[in-house]
């Protein structure tokens, strides 16, 4: 087990800067997710931790030991990829055994026949078999041990790939989008299996994904990356409820958070699309946007005293509806979460009413995307209106 520390890591491929001074402290035993859009540098960062790629600048330490000069094979980390990279001609048992054979048997002992003459080999093989059996039991793949990868489903292959990584009891697991080859239902199922595996192994997991729902469901902490930088590193709850950057707020959460133009107008405090919000921004910052999650907007009956919302789409998710529309003749889309009862009367093309914004549920952001502190100055609501 080991914590991992990255200090000032930068990476360029030729003239292209891919990572910019990344600092990251991964705690011993935590499930940490690197999440961000494709191309933001997640895999590159993971490969630098693994030692598969060398950084242009900065330092990596594992368990307090600097590993900048340490080869990948000596870092005691296990990597699990999206492509399972199993040996197709070997059985599941042999696939899982391979890393142990390479580590524990010397070249002589690995020979098929002559190896049998080695004095210590039998004891080593017994130990090795016991470790493989234990791994198979944890992953519940005992009945698959004599099959070849070609005879397995995607989920089973992924479990075998995990087994091959686990069997050496590495200091940490590095996983790069390990579920992206699976179909949607299996992906959701494997999330809970991975979270459970993490609990039972109590080993550091560093997990890369572009899928924010994977990050939200599995992580102890998640680092949201964009453009080669970590924008925020906190728990999933904090990322969702207290994003410190508009880009984080927009990347996390489905459907996307609603963003409105906002400004500070003399005497009126914060205005949203020109309408007062009964709130003030404290501290410095050039207010430019406010953002509200779809579950914090409310539809009123059509004759309610709200802002007219022209409905363009009703998305039925069973337990919830997402009502898409736009305010007045404004082009900016708005998405509201509604209960089936609230959605029942809403017809596409009709105009319904949006309840006044509750300032307590509004997040403010500056022109530079940084979060601004908002304090309420009166009644908690304002009517949204385009001017």
**Which residues of this protein are in contact with ligand ADP, per CB under 6 A?**
13, 18, 36, 38-44
To which residue do tokens 């234990």 refer? 134
With respect to ligand ADP, which residue has the nearer C-beta, 63 or 227?
A: 227
Shortest Cβ 325–ligand ADP spacing (Å): 33
Cα–Cα separations (whole angstroms), residue 183 to 2, 50, 140, 190, 268? 33, 28, 20, 10, 51
Determine if 258 is a binding residue for Mg ion (CB under 5 A): no
Q: Which does 40 bind (CB under 5 to 8 A by kind): ligand ADP, Mg ion, none?
A: ligand ADP
To which residue do tokens 């080991």 refer? 2
Shortest Cβ 15–ligand ADP spacing (Å): 10
Shortest Cβ 237–ligand ADP spacing (Å): 24
- The string of DSSP codes covering 45-78 is HHHHHHTSS--SEEEEEETTEE-TTS-GGGS-EE
CA–CA dist 374, 359 (Å, integer) = 8
Shortest Cβ 4–ligand ADP spacing (Å): 17
| Contact residues for 151 (Cβ-Cβ < 8 A; gap 6+) | none
CA–CA dist 191, 199 (Å, integer) = 12
Shortest Cβ 319–ligand ADP spacing (Å): 33
With respect to ligand ADP, which residue has the nearer C-beta, 43 or 212?
A: 43
CA–CA dist 61, 4 (Å, integer) = 6
Q: Which does 13 bind (CB under 5 to 8 A by kind): ligand ADP, Mg ion, none?
A: ligand ADP
With respect to ligand ADP, which residue has the nearer C-beta, 115 or 227?
A: 227
Structure tokens at 6: 């990255």
Q: Report the Cα 357 to chain-centroid distance in Å.
A: 29
With respect to Mg ion, which residue has the nearer C-beta, 43 or 258?
A: 43
Shortest Cβ 251–ligand ADP spacing (Å): 12
With respect to ligand ADP, which residue has the nearer C-beta, 18 or 334?
A: 18
Angle between helices 154-166 and 184-201 (to 10 degrees): 20
With respect to Mg ion, which residue has the nearer C-beta, 180 or 377?
A: 180
Q: Within 38-97, which residues bind Mg ion (CB under 5 A)?
A: 43
On whether the CB atoms of residues 75 and 50 are closer than 8 A, the answer is: yes
Determine if 209 is a binding residue for Mg ion (CB under 5 A): no
Interacting residues with Mg ion (CB under 5 A): 43
């Amino acid at each position: 087990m080991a914590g991992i520390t990255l200090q000032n890591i930068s990476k360029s491929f030729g003239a292209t800067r891919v990572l910019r001074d990344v600092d990251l402290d991964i705690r011993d035993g935590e499930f940490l997710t690197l999440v961000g859009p494709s191309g933001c540098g997640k895999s590159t960062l993971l490969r630098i931790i693994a030692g598969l790629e060398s950084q242009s600048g900065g330092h990596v330490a594992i368990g307090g030991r600097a590993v900048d000069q340490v080869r990948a094979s000596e870092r005691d980390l296990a990597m699990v990829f999206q492509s399972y990279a199993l040996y197709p001609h070997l059985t599941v048992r042999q696939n899982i055994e391979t890393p142990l054979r390479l580590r524990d048997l010397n070249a002589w002992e690995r020979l098929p026949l002559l190896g049998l003459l080695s004095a210590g080999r039998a004891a080593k093989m017994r130990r090795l078999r016991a470790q493989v059996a234990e791994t198979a039991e944890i992953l519940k793949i005992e009945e698959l041990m004599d099959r070849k990868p070609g005879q397995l489903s995607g989920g089973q292959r992924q479990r075998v790939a995990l087994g091959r990584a686990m069997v050496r009891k590495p200091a940490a697991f590095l996983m790069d989008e390990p579920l992206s080859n699976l179909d949607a239902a299996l992906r959701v199922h494997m999330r809970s299996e991975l979270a459970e595996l993490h609990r039972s192994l109590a080993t550091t997991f560093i997990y890369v994904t572009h899928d924010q729902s994977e990050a939200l469901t599995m992580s102890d902490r998640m680092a949201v990356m964009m453009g080669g930088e970590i924008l925020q590193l906190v728990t999933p709850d904090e990322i969702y409820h207290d994003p410190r950057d508009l880009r984080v707020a927009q990347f996390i959460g489905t459907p996307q958070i609603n963003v409105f133009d906002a400004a500070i107008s003399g005497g009126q405090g914060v205005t949203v699309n020109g309408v007062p919000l009964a709130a003030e921004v404290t501290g410095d910052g050039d207010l430019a946007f406010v953002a509200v999650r779809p579950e914090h907007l409310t539809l009123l009956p059509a004759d309610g005293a709200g802002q007219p919302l022209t409905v363009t789409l009703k998305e039925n998710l069973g337990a919830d509806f997402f009502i898409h529309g736009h305010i007045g003749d404004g082009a900016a889309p708005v998405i509201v979460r509604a209960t089936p009862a609230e959605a029942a009367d809403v017809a596409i093309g009709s105009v319904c009413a949006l309840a006044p914004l509750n300032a307590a549920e509004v997040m403010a952001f500056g022109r530079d995307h940084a979060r601004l502190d908002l304090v309420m100055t009166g009644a908690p609501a304002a009517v949204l209106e385009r001017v």
